Amino acid sequence: MTDDDLIALARAAALKAYAPYSGFSVGCAILSVDGEVVTGANMENACYRLGLCAEQSALTAAQHAFGLDKVARVAVAGGDGSGAELKGDAPVTPCGGCRQALLEASQLGGRDIDIVCASGDGGIIERHRLSALIANGFGPDNLRDSTKHGD
């Protein structure tokens, strides 16, 4: 699965977003270490702060399909999803909360995660490593000294 393939899936997923309040549709496609793919899109709510981001929606599907610890690569794309194709010329990088959720998957799997960020039209692509997007983040590894997690 190439980055272009994964971006195409993220762009298609964005068209299934429920984003009536922001008008900003985001799609996310997650590839596992074994080549399985799941997708998700943002889902908003009349109580605005309860909206769900595309990455967290896709991470939920990833946990269900193959397990968070198997996440290898993630593509995100966002923009105007009101037409037949997603539009927009600015790459979408995961928000802070999504970086934290991705860090959980990364530390569970013991591997860095490639994050491919695309503009809505797919024309602009940025590649990042999660470790750069959330440097020195707090994750499950940091709980090793707790009474519940310590060995």
Q: Which residues bind ligand THU (CB under 6 A)?
A: 19, 22, 24, 26, 42, 44, 51, 53-55, 94-95, 98
Q: Which is nearer to ligand THU, 38 or 147 (CB)?
A: 38
Distance CA 21, CA 38 (A): 25
Which of 99, 93, 95 is CA-nearest to residue 135?
A: 99
Q: Which of 55, 85, 104, 126 is catalytic?
A: 55
Catalytic residue check, 55 = yes
Q: Residue 48 or residue 135: which is nearer to ligand THU going by CB? A: 48
3-class SS of residue 104:
helix
The residue among 73, 90, 77 whose CA lies nearest residue 128 is 73
Cα dihedral across residues 126, 129, 132, 78: positive or negative: positive
Q: What separation, in Å, do the N-terminal and C-terminal C-alpha atoms of the chain show?
A: 38
Q: How far is the CB of 23 from ligand THU (least distance, A)?
A: 8
- Cβ closest to ligand THU, residue 15 vs residue 144: 15
Residues noted as catalytic: 55
